[in-house]
Amino acid sequence: MSGHDHDHHHGHDHGHDHGHDHGHDHGPFQPDIEDRPLTHYQAMTEAVADLLVAKGIVTPAELRKMLEIIDSKSPAAGSKMVARAWTDPGFKQRMLEDVIAAAAELDIDAGGIPIKAIENTEGVHNVVVCTLCSCYPRLLIGLPPDWYKARAYRSRVIREPRAVLKEFGTEIPDDVELRVHDSTADLRYLIIPARPKGTEGWSAEKLEALVTRDTMIGVAVPQP
Ligand code: FE
């Protein structure tokens, strides 16, 4: 407590400070999540969760555990699949036909919602959005980043994908076609980025490190 355990009658006029002088006037503190009114869907979610617990269908511990599992997901599973696809044409073909079955070959649980893998080629670059909300292959690439859920990304990337990618630092040449894929609750997308030149003979681990989350959304390309 020592940092906050100070005399409040000291000489300057901050309503609240952290025991040190900032020397500038900071804005209001970031509101706590609870300070904002619940959105319609937040209220619905909380109500359904309360009912499921009240009716004994799930326990609070089961709810907590599922959140912990989802929060623990990272892009590692997707990276592993893409790196395998780069080095094993048979696997890539099976992945293009059925992502969930291909994932199972690597002992990866991709969940039950269909996922379509789309390959970037020399002539076509693909990028993914969910214009309605935030649909995303979470079990393969983790939770979506905040920008993926933001209205700015969702609305702009379909209208001016080349400009949006440029803001991400990704310049797609004019002679490369840019395709935007809109995810839904029933179908999510995973981009198989093009394997960079000069990575021949690389180990699986080294290749996987190139395949970041953003390259599987399509807003970046692997950088060797
Ligand atoms: Fe969505």
pLDDT at 25 (0 to 100):
63
Ligand 1 centroid to Cα of residue 223, in Å, is 28
Residues contacting residue 180 through CB under 8 Å, at least 6 positions apart: 126, 127, 128, 129, 157, 158, 161
Average pLDDT in the 156-185 region? 96
Instruction: Report the percentage of the chain scoring pLDDT > 90.
Output: 78
Ligand 1 centroid to Cα of residue 92, in Å, is 26
Least confident of 131-135, 145-149, 180-184, 203-207: 131-135
Residue 2 has pLDDT above 70, yes or no: no
18-36 per-position pLDDT tens digit: 445 555 566 778 878 778 8
Answer yes or no: 130 catalytic: yes
Residue 10 has pLDDT above 80, yes or no: no
Is 163 within 8 Å of 155 (Cβ atoms)? no
Q: How many residues does the chain have?
A: 224
Answer yes or no: 74 catalytic: no
- What Å distances lie between residue 196 and 61, 107, 176, 222, CA to CA? 45, 26, 16, 7
Type of residue numbered 15: G
Answer yes or no: 134 catalytic: yes
When pLDDT is cut at 50, 70 and 90, the band that residue 150 belongs to is very high
pTM, rounded to two decimals: 0.80
Angle at Cα 58 formed by Cα 57 and Cα 62, nearest 5°? Answer: 165
